[in-house]
Chains A and B, each alone.
Chain A
Amino acid sequence: MKVLLKIWRQDDRDAAGKLVDYPLDDVDPDMSFLDMLDMLNEQLVRRGERVIEFDNDCREGICGTCGMVINGRPHGPLTATTTCQLHMRTFNDGDTIVIEPFRASSFPLIRDLKVDRSALDRIIQSGAFISTHIGTAPEANSILIAKDAADAAFDAATCIGCGACVAVCKNASAALFTGAKVTHLSNLPQGKIEAQRRVVDMVATMDKEGFGSCTNTEACEAICPQEISTDYIARMNWEYNAAKVRQTGKSS
């Protein structure tokens, strides 16, 4: 099949960017979207041009490295699917496909489709852990965890940190990402002890990193490749308010 790619090219953060047309023939419908971009890049190399920079690694939908906005949607048209798991059979012969980077002021652009998502790491570093010492833990079965609680923690823990929720949100909020981690840890007995301090620190870091606040549009849930639920945002808010009540005696 043939497609017309319109790809965002931008040398660096301060340079002007623009969409550039790349017509591509002989696309195999079973090819993955990123294999298709590789094919284009090989052609660019043969022509002596600089390749299109994009981040990717596992190509299995699990590492969270890849991510671009395809026809206006982060990770493209399919639900519950990362860019690397998208295949060309999803598109039609002759389609025009617009490819842009994830856009959010907390994700500074590096080049072309590559952005810097380290703000998400800093949210985690601000408190998304259980302060246990390595190698001195109690026998694992000494604390029973109900299957429902473990499953609920697991569901929240499957966030791959791709940042699509931020890119799709009109406020560029990281609430889904942060809510998922807060929920994962606070569902487990081991994580409860620090729950209050954790949520307060993580929410403060979200603000400091310039992510917007959540206004419940729920576009994030619709776009999330892991189908992370917006219930976790509610859970985060609940945990946050509970913590604030404890700290100050009144809800914020």
Chain B
Amino acid sequence: MTLDAKIPEGPVEQKWSRYQATCKLVNAANRKKLDVIIVGTGLAGGGAAAALGELGYNVKAFCFHDSPRRAHSTAAQGGVNAAKNYQNDGDNIYRMFYDTVKGGDFRSREANVYRMAELSVSLIDTCVAQGVPFAREYGGVLGNRSFGGVQVERTFYAQGQTGQQLLLGTYSALSRQIKAGRVTMYNRHEMLDLVIVDGQAKGIIARDLITGEIQRYAAHAVVLATGGYSKIFYLSTLALGSNATAIWKAHKRGAYIANPSLTQIHPTCLPQSGERQSKLTLMSESLRNDGRIWVPLKAGDERSPNAIPDDERDYYLERRYPAFGNLTPRDIASRAAKERIDAGHGVGPLKNAVYLDFRDALKEYGRDGIAGRYGNLFDMYRKITGLDAYSEPMRIAPAAHFSMGGLWVDYELMTSVNGLYALGECNFADHGANRLGANSLLQACVDGYFIIPTTIGNYLADQRTKNLPSTDAPEFQQAADAAEAAIRKLLNVNGGRPVDEYHRALGAILWDRCGISRSPEGLQEAIIQITELREDFHRNVRVTGGSHEPNNELEKALRINDYLELAELMCRDALSRDESCGAHFRTDHQTEDGEAVRNDDDFAYVAAWEYTPNGTPTLHKEHLTFQDVKLTARSYK
């Protein structure tokens, strides 16, 4: 099968409006006869459910949380981008498009990125209308700040809780549709498989997480909005429940997974402090606007940070990237930190961190000024570490943060399975090889609110009521039986090792070999180690409790089972991309001073992997063409 991205003709600025003007529509009377399943109710899925419900479709929405308001989107701190040019600093849609294509190291699709920038403008309008309390200036207009990788102020924020406020807006719009009867919400339900009938996605198998019952749901189309899978690294900034099950099962049913190894590592997280830690906490990147990053010039310097004079500090980002300094994009800042830590300059008890220092900013703006901007982050830092960042620099470290890879989708956000769509972080997204800060909330929101309501109509217009299969159909029966069997198998292993042990082991392999930097030898070793770990899992895992009851251990085991398979694909993808680009840094492709060397002649493509039962996956390439942004070496010097 050749990959058709279905990018509309015409100049990039006109593609979306042309698409809208020419796609098929479903008339209002027919919409209520069409059922849509949406899995995931974060910003992407919740927005889609609200928008499709409002249009009059019959929506069934699922999430494993006890309430849609708890989706991982709620954790986003920093902000959401939009090309409003409210600061009169020369921002516009084209500039945002340009920054994003360049920031993504030329591994994203121009048409999609342009559309994202274009729709960012109305997103802010929609959120404000929903009651999202964004930061305001005294005169009553909206406020902005800047984020890594750009030189304008285009980020809208609600203190350090932007994701929460955006999600509450989505959740309220969704609640309105639930009340109106247009959306039926299934909380505490986990999708375990996708059902395909006659080559079209027609339903899902879900497990009721309270009763354990395996249930079947049918619809005319299925939309996945199940978020990112970077929790595969075990230690990451993601919520503990984040997982890959929905996309992995869709992959096994025919949906291609694109660029799975492109993982964003966030430079400003709290360093790991102990063995038993289950997650790493992100400190918003906005801190880099005023904090300066440094390490002691002398390796192994044991002095307290405040006792180290300026000329014995290495402000390595300012030194290496004078134009962007502390605001270089995340991949560059993370790599630079790792480089210093590996060279023995790391700080803190485990020597695994760098300093983020507010000394100069405190001098300039005073304690109140800094508290006004970042007070809640400083409080959070104190709660977690017990340390006061007003009197000594914070200690930060890079951590796995965001999956740029995910299900391959075309311009309509349809996967390679007919009638199956993927939105938000679970698709391979518009971010290319690296995501600029504050673009992910944006992508999740515009996918859900604005894009899918139009594009799904183009498909549903050809669906008829009779195309809704019975959940007794053999395809449903087979998938439900398979889900039951997988559960029984896990419960019957009865070995000696708890699930978390496998997750930690898998995370360590991936972080070392498929994390901030990768080498071909390391990746090959990782594939072997993952295979061994997977075999051990099926021999020795122990899951207590039963299947027809609430069972956290079983939920985790099912998710790890899928992670153990996806991990191998990630390593294969990293191995086959024989270049450095964005977050994918291959040690065998770097300049003398440690900068990434991209290879556009051979690798300007999206790597879309097809699942092959019992064999190596097949690589399909979607070649990327750059008409509006010239392919250039990405420099932040």
Residues of A within 8 A of B (CB): 11-12, 28, 30-32, 34-35, 38-39, 41-42, 44-46, 48-51, 53-65, 81, 85, 87, 89, 110-111, 114, 116-118, 120-121, 124-135, 137-141, 143-147, 150-151, 153-154, 157-158, 160-161, 184-185, 188, 190-191
Q: Is the CB of B133 within 8 A of A45?
A: no
Residues of the B chain whose Cβ atoms lie less than 8 Å from the Cβ of A150: 133-136
Per-residue A-contact encoding for B507-548, CB less than 8 Å = 1, 0 else:
000000000000000000000000000000000001111000
Closest CB pairs A-B (n = 10): A144-B140, A137-B129, A129-B172, A154-B133, A137-B125, A45-B498, A153-B133, A140-B128, A132-B129, A150-B136
CA distance A131 to B180 in the complex (A): 11
Given contacts A34-B278, A140-B128, contact A46 B542 (CB under 8 A): yes
Interface residues of B in 113-138 (CB under 8 A from A): 122, 124-131, 133-138
Listed A/B pairs (25) with beta-carbon separation below 8 Å: A28-B275, A28-B276, A31-B277, A38-B276, A42-B500, A42-B501, A46-B542, A49-B544, A57-B70, A59-B281, A61-B380, A63-B72, A87-B383, A89-B386, A111-B550, A124-B171, A128-B172, A128-B175, A133-B54, A134-B173, A134-B449, A134-B453, A137-B125, A144-B141, A160-B164
Q: Is the CB of B179 within 8 A of A125?
A: yes
Q: Is the CB of B544 within 8 A of A50?
A: yes
* Distance of B129 from chain A, by nearest CB (Å): 4
CA distance A49 to B185 in the complex (A): 33
- Smallest Cβ-Cβ distance to B242: which chain A residue: A57
Residues of the A chain whose Cβ atoms lie less than 8 Å from the Cβ of B126: 132, 134-135, 137
CA distance A130 to B128 in the complex (A): 10
Q: Is the CB of B67 within 8 A of A121?
A: yes
Most buried by B among A31, A61, A140: A140
Q: Is the CB of B86 within 8 A of A141?
A: yes
* Distance of A91 from chain B, by nearest CB (Å): 14
Q: Is the CB of B54 within 8 A of A134?
A: yes
> Contact check: which of B122, B176, B496, B501 meets A135 at CB < 8 Å?
B122
Residues of the A chain whose Cβ atoms lie less than 8 Å from the Cβ of B51: 134-135
Q: Is the CB of B168 within 8 A of A157?
A: yes
* Distance of A27 from chain B, by nearest CB (Å): 9
Q: Is the CB of A63 within 8 A of B498?
A: no
Q: Is the CB of B131 within 8 A of A153?
A: yes
Residues of the B chain whose Cβ atoms lie less than 8 Å from the Cβ of A46: 496, 498, 542
Q: Is the CB of B136 within 8 A of A124?
A: no
* Distance of A232 from chain B, by nearest CB (Å): 14
CA distance A135 to B543 in the complex (A): 47
Residues of the B chain whose Cβ atoms lie less than 8 Å from the Cβ of A145: 136, 140
Q: Is the CB of B172 within 8 A of A81?
A: no
Q: Is the CB of B72 within 8 A of A57?
A: yes
- Smallest Cβ-Cβ distance to B86: which chain A residue: A141
CA distance A12 to B549 in the complex (A): 9
CA distance A15 to B628 in the complex (A): 66
Q: Is the CB of B164 within 8 A of A62?
A: yes
Q: Is the CB of A111 within 8 A of B549?
A: yes
Residues of the B chain whose Cβ atoms lie less than 8 Å from the Cβ of A51: 544-545, 552-553
Residues of the A chain whose Cβ atoms lie less than 8 Å from the Cβ of B274: 28, 30-31
Most buried by B among A116, A129, A133: A129
Q: Is the CB of B133 within 8 A of A53?
A: no
Q: Is the CB of B66 within 8 A of A135?
A: no
Per-residue A-contact encoding for B137-176, CB less than 8 Å = 1, 0 else:
1111110000000000000001101001100100111011
Residues of the B chain whose Cβ atoms lie less than 8 Å from the Cβ of A121: 67-69, 175, 185, 187
Question: Is B74 an interface residue, CB under 8 A from the partner?
Answer: yes
- Smallest Cβ-Cβ distance to B237: which chain A residue: A60
Question: Is B323 an interface residue, CB under 8 A from the partner?
Answer: no
Question: Is B359 an interface residue, CB under 8 A from the partner?
Answer: no
Q: Is the CB of A58 within 8 A of B72?
A: yes
Q: Is the CB of A131 within 8 A of B136?
A: no
Residues of the A chain whose Cβ atoms lie less than 8 Å from the Cβ of B543: 45
Question: Is B253 an interface residue, CB under 8 A from the partner?
Answer: no
Residues of the A chain whose Cβ atoms lie less than 8 Å from the Cβ of B134: 150
Per-residue A-contact encoding for B47-66, CB less than 8 Å = 1, 0 else:
10011001000000000011
CA distance A65 to B552 in the complex (A): 14
Q: Is the CB of A53 within 8 A of B550?
A: yes
Interface residues of B in 195-217 (CB under 8 A from A): 210
CA distance A48 to B282 in the complex (A): 35
Residues of the B chain whose Cβ atoms lie less than 8 Å from the Cβ of A59: 239-240, 278-279, 281
Residues of the B chain whose Cβ atoms lie less than 8 Å from the Cβ of A151: 133, 136
Question: Is B241 an interface residue, CB under 8 A from the partner?
Answer: yes
CA distance A81 to B382 in the complex (A): 12
Residues of the A chain whose Cβ atoms lie less than 8 Å from the Cβ of B130: 129-130, 132, 190
CA distance A45 to B239 in the complex (A): 23
CA distance A74 to B74 in the complex (A): 22
Question: Is B25 an interface residue, CB under 8 A from the partner?
Answer: no
* Distance of B417 from chain A, by nearest CB (Å): 27
Given contacts A30-B274, A118-B67, A124-B171, contact A144 B74 (CB under 8 A): no
* Distance of B31 from chain A, by nearest CB (Å): 15
Residues of the A chain whose Cβ atoms lie less than 8 Å from the Cβ of B141: 141, 144
> Contact check: which of B127, B173, B450, B542 meets A48 at CB < 8 Å?
B542
CA distance A35 to B234 in the complex (A): 13
Q: Is the CB of A57 within 8 A of B239?
A: yes
Residues of the B chain whose Cβ atoms lie less than 8 Å from the Cβ of A35: 276-278
- Smallest Cβ-Cβ distance to A123: which chain B residue: B175
CA distance A126 to B175 in the complex (A): 8
Residues of the A chain whose Cβ atoms lie less than 8 Å from the Cβ of B50: 134
Question: Is B7 an interface residue, CB under 8 A from the partner?
Answer: no
CA distance A252 to B551 in the complex (A): 47
Q: Is the CB of A137 within 8 A of B544?
A: no
* Distance of B361 from chain A, by nearest CB (Å): 22
List 4 additional A-B contacts (Cβ < 8 Å) besides A28-B276, A48-B544, A58-B240: A42-B500, A56-B240, A59-B281, A140-B129
* Distance of A107 from chain B, by nearest CB (Å): 11
- Smallest Cβ-Cβ distance to A126: which chain B residue: B179
Residues of the B chain whose Cβ atoms lie less than 8 Å from the Cβ of A42: 498, 500-501
CA distance A30 to B277 in the complex (A): 9
Per-residue A-contact encoding for B478-501, CB less than 8 Å = 1, 0 else:
000000000000000000101111
> Contact check: which of B122, B187, B380 meets A118 at CB < 8 Å?
B187
Residues of the A chain whose Cβ atoms lie less than 8 Å from the Cβ of B380: 60-61
Residues of the B chain whose Cβ atoms lie less than 8 Å from the Cβ of A87: 383-384, 386
Question: Is B597 an interface residue, CB under 8 A from the partner?
Answer: no
Q: Is the CB of B277 within 8 A of A184?
A: no
Question: Is B619 an interface residue, CB under 8 A from the partner?
Answer: no
- Smallest Cβ-Cβ distance to B73: which chain A residue: A63
Given contacts A45-B553, A55-B66, A57-B239, contact A137 B140 (CB under 8 A): no
Question: Is B178 an interface residue, CB under 8 A from the partner?
Answer: yes
CA distance A235 to B276 in the complex (A): 44
- Smallest Cβ-Cβ distance to A56: which chain B residue: B240
Question: Is B75 an interface residue, CB under 8 A from the partner?
Answer: yes
Question: Is B465 an interface residue, CB under 8 A from the partner?
Answer: no
Q: Is the CB of B276 within 8 A of A39?
A: yes
CA distance A157 to B550 in the complex (A): 31
Question: Is B273 an interface residue, CB under 8 A from the partner?
Answer: yes
Q: Is the CB of B161 within 8 A of A140?
A: no
Most buried by B among A48, A55, A89, A150: A150
> Contact check: which of B138, B171, B277 meets A147 at CB < 8 Å?
B138
Residues of the A chain whose Cβ atoms lie less than 8 Å from the Cβ of B279: 59-60
Given contacts A147-B136, A154-B159, contact A137 B128 (CB under 8 A): yes
